[in-house]
Amino acid sequence: MTLKYSSNRTRIFQGIQLALISTLLGLSGCSAGFMTSDDSNVSGVALPSSPSLEGEDASSRMPEHSLHVDADTMFQILAAEMMVQKGQPAQAFDLIYEVAVNTRDTELAKRAFELSIATYDADKIEAATILWREVSPDAPIAWRASF
């Protein structure tokens, strides 16, 4: 009788394990499979895409220039990008624009311009365009945007 009881208990335990594993796999698949890169951008602001890791070495993924920033500046950049994710481009612009003015970085000036467009505020668009032209005078889009 004990042998029969332990074999039934083992089968029940194995059934519970299988059900638990199936449920967890199903839930993890639900969270990962339905959003496309187009769906993740709810604010309408261009977001940077994640680089592909296949067939590339680390040196080819590095940007052409590297901006060395302190912790406070990095925090401002990350906070601004989180504001974009939350649908607050005007607040994000204020942070990114300030950092771009202080660092005089081309990519941050371009990002400030992108965010200014999302705010639909003519003053912010003009300020970002002027900044982008100043830090990157060879960028044709910055010049076109200013006219």
Q: What pTM, to 2 d.p., does this model score?
A: 0.56
Closest CA to 126 of 96, 105, 144, 146: 146
Span 87-109, pLDDT tens digits = 999 999 999 999 999 999 999 99
Helix, strand, coil fractions of the chain, as percent rounded to 5: 70, 0, 30
Q: In this structure, are 74 and 137 located in the same domain?
A: yes
Q: In this structure, are 74 and 140 located in the same domain?
A: yes
What is the residue range of 80's domain? 69-145
Rounded-to-integer distance, Cα 1 and Cα 93, Å:
74
57 within a domain of the structure (yes/no):
no
64 within a domain of the structure (yes/no):
no
76 within a domain of the structure (yes/no):
yes
Q: In this structure, are 19 and 74 located in the same domain?
A: no
Q: Rounding to the nearest 10 degrees, give the CA dihedral for residues 106, 121, 95, 103.
A: 20
Give the chain's domain count: 2
Q: In this structure, are 22 and 74 located in the same domain?
A: no
Does pLDDT of 117 surpass 60?
Answer: yes
55 within a domain of the structure (yes/no):
no
Q: What is the mean pLDDT of residues 54-61?
A: 46
Rounded-to-integer distance, Cα 44 and Cα 52, Å:
23
41 within a domain of the structure (yes/no):
no
Rounded-to-integer distance, Cα 118 and Cα 147, Å:
18
26 within a domain of the structure (yes/no):
yes
Q: Which residues of 80-111 are buried (b: 16+ CB within 10 A; e: fewer)?
A: bbebbeeebbeebbbbbbebbbebebbbbbbb
Does pLDDT of 112 surpass 50?
Answer: yes
CATH number of the CATH domain containing 132 = 1.25.40
Q: In this structure, are 27 and 75 located in the same domain?
A: no
CA 63 to chain centre: 16
Rounded-to-integer distance, Cα 113 and Cα 2, Å:
75
Q: In this structure, are 140 and 77 located in the same domain?
A: yes
21 within a domain of the structure (yes/no):
yes
